[in-house]
Structure 1
Amino acid sequence: MCLTYVSAGVTFYIGTVFSLNYGTGQLKLDRDVILQLVLVVNVLAILGIPFFGWLSDRTGRRAIFVAGCLGMAVLPYLWFVTLDTGSFGWMLLGFLALFLPYTATYGTMPVFFAHVFPPAVRYTGMSLGYTLGTVIGSALAPIVATWLLDASGGWLLIAAYMSLAGVVSAVAALFLRDWHGPTADVQTSTAAEVSR
């Protein structure tokens, strides 16, 4: 399950953390401009996450999640092209395009991941999978992106890295299977048994 989260982590942390380095260092943009863009897309993501959760209840979680991962595989190229314009409007469009599929995956994630595990280990399984995915995707993304920028001098390898993460997460999501056992693994006790 941890590989399904990698794309969301890579996209979020490159889009919110690395973009500050790239925008101020490479593009010589004012730091406040990048922070404003990050703020706007995060507020919109907060509003969009419940929408995608609702949509996934009607159309299927896996479909929305995989579409989001594939969007995160394709849209980094557009995002970097719009960043390179230096125009606030174009950069905002790029940020919105990049964060829309991220929002779609985040809206489906809680229930999609919960249905992977049997009730007895659901919380632990989700926590471990999510945490490992965070370490692999989120924690390393800005470091890897900075290294790729230094090594290549441009954004193309960073976009390819983001694309790879999107494809890996989409494929991993296709292999996740829903738990089809009993809905509850809880034993009920009588008052007499509890008082013993």
Structure 2
Amino acid sequence: MASRTIVLGSTSPFRKALLQKLNIPFECAKPNIDETAHKGESPIELVERLAIEKAQAISNFPNSLIIGSDQVALCDDEILGKPHNFDNAVKQLTKFSGKAVTFYTGLCVLDCSTNKVHSLVEPFTVHFNQLSQNEIENYIKAEEPYNCAGSFKSEGLGICLFNKLEGEDPNALIGLPLIKLVSLFKQHNFDVLSEQ
């Protein structure tokens, strides 16, 4: 079989950096989809559906495997997205102080030649320290995490905000669970180590 093209259905620099860890060539494409939740849709259903829709939105690459991914943060049964600005980031981190926040990352791999889809949702829980207003504001000014769901970068100074991380793959928190991705690739007969 001719080598398949890997396409990451995301323009996120964080997801791109994670996928580079697998040492395989890939392309990036931006999927344009409506990310509005459906009525009655759970956060888990939402991220899995959006991951699949993102992959399907760019399925015009011949002989390729397309990766779709989406993530939400959940705290006190409220879905939280990207803060986009300082004030919203302060609100999010103030809400998280002393609490556990679960991130759900939807992941899908679509084979363009067969239209076969394998997908899953990977949870990851972050336990926050009790945070003072000063700590919150100092952190946000230092790292400006405005494009990160939950208002922090766990791969950077965000680690100072936590007392415990709970999950199978720390990459899931950054937006692309690589352990599960390798497993989904195998279901499509694509072996990352054989491609080295």
Fold in common (TM above 0.5)? no
Higher Rg: 1
Query: Greater RCO between the two (CA within 8 Å, min separation 6)?
Result: 1
Higher helix share: 1
TM-score by length of 1: 0.31
Higher strand share: 2
TM-score by length of 2: 0.31
